[in-house]
Chain A
Amino acid sequence: AQSVAQPEDQVNVAEGNPLTVKCTYSVSGNPYLFWYVQYPNRGLQFLLKYITGDNLVKGSYGFEAEFNKSQTSFHLKKPSALVSDSALYFCAVRDRFVSGAGSYQLTFGKGTKLSVIP
């Protein structure tokens, strides 16, 4: 079974400050890892993913995330937060080696609400 933990329900950060949204995961094999952002009453927008290769992944809107296998973490970061970054952020995992139609399922964390204060 695969699972994702986002330990913080809410993160508050001042505009211009760096932000971090935490995510840890559990899979039996090697993971595919994703970050998505959701604005109110909207679907999910893809931010970035880790499949293989460099542990530091750069994504949309200046976001990046670092895959840390030993700590089973994939924290989302941005050097300088914008008010427009305020939204709900979801970390998701997929076990790379599960076969069958269910192998493409993503397991989502519960989400972290990011509020950037002007």
Chain B
Amino acid sequence: GAVVSQHPSWVICKSGTSVKIECRSLDFQATTMFWYRQFPKQSLMLMATSNEGSKATYEQGVEKDKFLINHASLTLSTLTVTSAHPEDSSFYICSARDREDTGELFFGEGSRLTVL
């Protein structure tokens, strides 16, 4: 089946630093990837949609300069949290759609970011 790998699983950083999270589709080409943020005991909040080779589309209220998304290839999308602050601490999850569009999205394992 389609596998999405997300790295790192856990990251702890100091306030003011930047953190990059990678999302890779291992056995399929992902034309579209989605980035979500999940607060404790809450649902997934869509942050942005990225299509390979084009700029990401951000949801209302998501700061594009804070959360930089790059989708440079059909198998890799990155989310960079710039100048991280404690309020950016969260669980970030990516998902990918394959070219066949079976209707299903394939999810990474998530990345737990803690900003001190």
Contact = CB atoms under 8 A, between A and B. Distances in A.
A62 B45 CA distance: 28
Interface string B100-114: 010111111110100
Interface residues of A, number: 22
A90 interface: yes
9 contacts: A43-B109, A45-B107, A51-B103, A90-B44, A101-B49, A105-B46, A106-B105, A108-B44, A111-B43
Nearest to A51: B103
Contacts of A56: none
A2 to B, nearest CB: 12
Interface in B72-88: none
Interface in A30-78: 32, 34, 36, 41-46, 49, 51
A41 B107 CA distance: 13
Identify whether the interface residues of B are mostly helix, strand, loop, or mixed: strand
Contacts of A101: 32, 49, 51, 57
Contacts of A104: 32, 34, 49, 97, 101, 105
Contacts of B60: none
Contacts of A105: 34, 46, 49
A87 B114 CA distance: 23
A106 B35 CA distance: 12
A102 interface: yes
Nearest to B6: A43
Given A32-B103, A51-B103, A94-B103, A43 B108 contact: yes
B104 A41 contact: no
Interface string A79-118: 0000000000010001000000110111011110000000
